[in-house]
Structure 1
Amino acid sequence: MQSESKKYEEEIPSLLWGLDPVFSAFARLYIKDIKEMRESKQVPGIFFYNGHPVRQVDVVGMVVQTKEREAFHSYGDCPGTPSSLKVLQQMKKFQEMVSQKTKLEIGDVIRVRGHVRTFRQQREIQSSCFYKVDDPVCDVQISRMLELPCLYREVYDKPFQSPGAGQSGPEGLDFLVQTLHEKVRDFLLENKIQTFYQQELETIHSLVSLAEGPKSSSSCQVNSGSESSSKRIHSVFKEAIKKLQEKGVVFQKPGTSMYYHVTDHDKELLKVTLDVIKEDCRKPRHAEKGCHFLHVLSCVRQTYNPNLDEVVMQRVLELLESNSDIVSTMEGYYMAF
């Protein structure tokens, strides 16, 4: 069971929830714990048990009363509110079987899977599916009650730690950098950012909270324990942007420290590259096969950026090809339409 101190522990960033297997599973929890789970402050409808994000549960219980909306309360292991099944029924036999399995009466034992939610200040389960369980000697319920202590011991009672969060030194930093660089990439591309300073990214709350790592962990420090939080965050951002440079997502021009261009949205770079291919493909030596990658790179370096990396050039050519502005005639050769 949850201790009082862990009920209100800091949430891990929502980007990391998918790394916890419990988040994608139908959690089998005691009813007492389902009622006491706290709702996320980041995403309403997500609940936390001992650090584990929970969005759907699997419960078994006995119907002790029915109402118009087929609500039920549990005896033992399962309160909730199952929704009616909407099934395309093509055969009478199948229709009767569905009716038999889903028509609830007092004393029926049923199994429910669904999402946890709060309705009128009470915790309930909005079912995605449910069915009656044939359990005259309570075998199903006994088996479940024997299974739950093992699940709690091996999974639920062990607070979730994201990979790298419990590691010190390079391992913990590598995980933060890897996670942040993916989030920064998505932010830049989705918001069509053309240029940016690193300091500007460090004002985005969702990115900063990710760079900080789980607040409950004190081991994710970049250098010494006395280093300030702002310096640690700055260092993580710097390494994340460096990884984006290595993949050609962003680049710099000479003499522009901390100022970056986003490759996908740099219209000038795309235009210069396309113009080089169009012009040179008119020449006899390039008319048949097109322009080689290294030739295009050399020309763009001369006219646009002498320090342009090959990986950036490759990304630009892929973008132009995906937009049907150019076509690759053979490996490493490109021709404009």
Structure 2
Amino acid sequence: MDQGDEPPSVLWGLDPVFSAFARLYVKDLLQIQESCQVPGIYLYNSHPIYKVDVLGTVVYKREREDFFCYGGNVAAINLDVTTRETLGEYVTSCQWSNSDLLRHQVMDDGTGVINCLCWKNEKWKESDDPVVPRASEQPETGCFDPLAELKKLREAQRKRSQLEIGDTLRVRGPVKTSRQQREIMASTFYKVNDPVMAEQIAWMLEVPELYRKCYDKPFQLQANTTSGPTVGRVTRATHILKDFLKKKTVTKFRPYDVLDLLQPLVCSQAQTKPEDQLSDQASVAGPSTGQQLRQLLKESLQVLQDEGAVYRKVKSEDELYHVTEQDKDLLIAVKDTIREDSKREKYAEKGCHVLHILSAVRQRYSPNISKEALQLVLKTLECNSDIISTSNSHYTMFS
């Protein structure tokens, strides 16, 4: 990727992926290119990435007396370390302290194999276990013993940090390129106890969703800088409407009922414009204050509909909006749907899927119910203990 194709580095902070641990597939970590502007930063679909979160299986391990070396096939880094002195020189060249135990392990997530550099502090060694107190200092039977609990904690840490081939490993840390090979410098790593593969299945369901909603969409900035105030004004208008509907517990309304609430936003923008801009508008005909107010209300109501906060039960010339969380008829319709269909043999064990509930509510109540509105209703019913979620997308009646 040429430097001209990269977003400016000063704008990377605007991308939420930059400050998060990106959950990318290993094959993409091996293929992403390093930034031409800042070494150590990699770009996937113009998203700046420097730290990742990966789940995989350990495929190679080698252990020595005073350090661990994990590797795997051609993806492993060949340390060529045979003596303690050579290891010390390698550790020093990598700017790690000699008091750390170096660990190399290669993990495979099904898409590729990548090397992970992990280290463990010497305080986890057996020699650093707490000293057993004298009999006179030992606590009475049944009392809390902090030294014994600390020893158990260190033992648990030791077991979670020592992995065998076939163990499931989760690693978090920055991506590096060493000796022309891609690797992860683990800042956090631990063994995942996953006997029934529940963690791996959840991971395989979550990562493709992140790709679809985030990673596969290129990082883009608004080309028109003048749109900034407009976007900010719509956001403020949306918050004003939300606060009004919540405080007044409004169940339904029409646009002209809330039009005056947004009047200060349009007036304040006109007052803050420079005099030369006002003079230019006087000579060039533009939208009037009323037109701007109606346009602002239209955009704000569209945002509320996209979020599912409001909906129109019947689309007609009479624009009547229903507040989703305050619509008792909608809550009853969703609850009745779950109660009736949960009795069917198909949904008796796991409950009704959210898409099935959505289809049933659209048929029985209103075809204009969005998935976002249904999610708000399900959340409200679950908070009221009317229903219970058996998974991320299945619901049944609370018994």
TM-score of the aligned structures, taking structure 2 as reference length: 0.40
